[in-house]
Amino acid sequence: MVLLFWGVAALLVLETHRTLGETSIVMASTSKVIAIVVVAFAYMRLVPHEPTLDHALSVGVAWLFFDIVAEMTTARVLGHGWYELIGSPAVGWLRNLIMVSWIGAPALFARRHE
């Protein structure tokens, strides 16, 4: 299920990049973060029986790992850099925001135990 929800989030991020990437980098990055958070909310509400913070962070790390592998594989096939899922290195802080979103978004919806 982790891979399935990541795939949905990745498709939403790719569509956002395709439609908004040329107009405004800030708007596209913000929309990517929103898409990631929405899918993370859906995952954390629908999948785990007990959505703990440890589980959420594990899912986030896996999602970022899938992003990096997908971008490296695509870049190798295309023969040039491909940065649609985590953002271009030239963007700077927006790329960092997207990368942190992949890891942290599921944790936003984890239940905290007292």
Consecutive 10-residue averages of pLDDT for the chain (114 residues): 96 93 86 96 88 92 96 93 87 91 95 62
For tokens 């695509």, the residue is 74
Per-residue pLDDT, 113: 58
Per-residue pLDDT, 90: 83
Prediction pTM value: 0.91
Give domain limits for the chain.
Answer: 2-109
- Backbone dihedral region for residue 88 (phi beyond 0: left; psi -120 to 50: alpha; all else: beta): beta
- DSSP for 57-92, written as a single string: HHHHHHHHHHHHHHHHHHHHHHTS---TTT--GGGT
Per-residue pLDDT, 114: 45
